[in-house]
Amino acid sequence: MSQPLRAGILGTGSYLPEKIVTNKDMEKLVETSDEWIVTRTGIKERHFAAADEFTSDMSTKAAQRALDAAGLKPTDLDLIIVATITPDMQTPSTACFVQTKLGAPQAAAFDISAACSGFVYGLSLARAFVESGFYKRILLIGAEKLTSFIDWKDRGTCVLFGDGAGAVIIGPSVNGEHEILSSYMSANGSEADLLKIPGGGCRFPSSLETIENRLHSLKMDGKQIFKIAVKVMSEAVLEAAKRANITLDQVSLVIPHQANDRIIQAIGERLELPKERVFVNVDRIANTSAASVAIALDEAVKAGKIQKGQYVAFVAFGAGTTLASSIVKW
Ligand code: UT7
């Protein structure tokens, strides 16, 4: 009898723009201090994309690296999914630009919008496509150029974000390697007001008024988001472990969305995990929304922090609000 198809991560890649912006640099833009940013968030620096470097460009670079790691060519792909809230344009999708830039004309392409949870949402989606037999090789990208959607006069948000992209290739797992064991997704639309970019949609179409009222940049109730994030992200890790039929003790590394080091540490404390079992790069990368977990995964792989046979947990929470988690056996 043939075994059911199981999806796995065949390769990872990431890309960070060249320009590094330190907290000292941010001090020149708004009334803030390195001390405030580090103590409240753990962030020391972030990468900013160049003016002519778009989400699709960063996506394509991360994608090529993931393809190389998987030993595949762009023409091997069946589908390209880009998780982003900062697309090149309202339409067409950023995935369509990536398809052309990468040279994968045979692949279907679309974007998903689940904010900071976008990449982990996408993992569930790609897994379902592969395990149903519908598609064999899927390029999943998390990418953001958040600097295009930041209110540079709002010190409460502008110091928190950076640009970048991370990518994985999802396909049938060979010999159970890098297999996605569980997926969990949820959303709470009643919390939609906590984090949003209100302008530019049909509710507030672009106008002089929306520009004057700064509706095209990100608005956040940081305190509320912080409280909810710690609770629901901890619960989601446990839910993913339960769905994978493993205990938290068996998880070697948790890779959480990198929004704030205090959130990450609080999750670690709630779950009683030692520091070395929770991945952190928010100090160097800041919050890159949908790209965050994808970049962190690639860095963890490259740094040898994930060994064959180990269980890894992904967890993310963001605007919507959305929440997602997953367990992968490396
Ligand atoms: O990625 C999606 C999920 N996003 C998140 O998870 C973000 C969650 N939230 C957070 O990370 C935190 O709430 C923040 C880092 C955004 C803010 O930290 P906080 O400890 O909640 O600070 P706060 O907003 O309550 O502000 C405290 C004080 C205020 O001054 P007063 O009113 O106490 O005098 C702010 O005006 O800090 C002030 N402040 C700043 N001071 C210097 C806010 N931003 C800054 C700044 N520099 N950049």
Judge contact between 51 and 163, C-beta under 8 A. no
Using the mean position of ligand 1's atoms as its centre, give its distance from the Cα of residue 78 in Å.
Answer: 43
CATH at 49: 3.40.47.10
Whether residues 157 and 18 share a domain: the answer is: yes
The closest of 173, 175, 178, 182 to 5, measured between CA atoms, is: 173
Judge contact between 118 and 314, C-beta under 8 A. no
Whether residues 149 and 298 share a domain: the answer is: no
Query: Residues of the chain with pLDDT > 90: what percent?
Result: 98
Looking at residue 1, its pLDDT comes to 58
Whether residues 166 and 290 share a domain: the answer is: no
Using the mean position of ligand 1's atoms as its centre, give its distance from the Cα of residue 22 in Å.
Answer: 18
Pick left, alpha or beta for residue 113 (phi over 0 → left; psi -120 to 50 → alpha; otherwise beta): beta
Considering the domain boundaries, does residue 2 fall inside one? Answer: no
Where in the sequence is the domain holding 224, given as residue range(s)?
A: 180-329
Whether residues 150 and 194 share a domain: the answer is: no
Whether residues 101 and 237 share a domain: the answer is: no
Looking at residue 267, its pLDDT comes to 98
Last residue of a domain, one of 136, 153, 174: 174
Whether residues 66 and 211 share a domain: the answer is: no
Mean pLDDT of 65-75: 98
Whether residues 17 and 149 share a domain: the answer is: yes
Considering the domain boundaries, does residue 16 fall inside one? Answer: yes
Whether residues 86 and 203 share a domain: the answer is: no
Q: How many domains does the chain have?
A: 2
Coil vs helix vs strand at 226: helix
Tens digit of each residue's pLDDT (9 = 90 or more) over 211-270: 999 999 999 999 999 999 999 999 999 999 999 999 999 999 999 999 999 999 999 999
Whether residues 241 and 132 share a domain: the answer is: no
Considering the domain boundaries, does residue 109 fall inside one? Answer: yes
- With 80 as the cut, is the pLDDT of residue 319 above it? yes
Coil vs helix vs strand at 263: helix
* Higher pLDDT, residue 303 or 3: 303
Tens digit of each residue's pLDDT (9 = 90 or more) over 138-152: 999 999 999 999 999
Last residue of a domain, one of 134, 157, 174: 174
Of 116, 158, 260, 281, the active-site residue reads: 116
Looking at residue 4, its pLDDT comes to 86
**Cis upstream peptide for 92 (omega within 30°):** yes
Phi then psi for residue 309, to 5 deg, are: 90, -10
- Residues in the ligand 1 pocket, defined by CB under 6 Å: 32, 36-37, 40-41, 116, 155-156, 159-160, 222-223, 225-226, 229, 259-260, 263, 287, 289, 318
Residue nearest to atom 29 of ligand 1 (CA): 156
Instruction: Report the relative pairing of strands 108-112 and 79-83 from DSSP bridges.
Output: parallel
Does 116 participate in catalysis according to the annotation? yes
Whether residues 220 and 295 share a domain: the answer is: yes
Mean pLDDT of 298-304: 97
Coil vs helix vs strand at 52: coil
Whether residues 120 and 191 share a domain: the answer is: no
Considering the domain boundaries, does residue 1 fall inside one? Answer: no
Does 260 participate in catalysis according to the annotation? no
For the entire predicted model, the pTM comes to 0.97
Rounded to the nearest integer, the mean pLDDT of the chain is 97
Whether residues 169 and 194 share a domain: the answer is: no
Pocket residue to mutate for ligand 1, from 40, 152, 224, most atoms within 8 A of Cβ? 40
Using the mean position of ligand 1's atoms as its centre, give its distance from the Cα of residue 185 in Å.
Answer: 27
Of 23, 260, 281, 287, the active-site residue reads: 287
Mean pLDDT of 120-148: 98
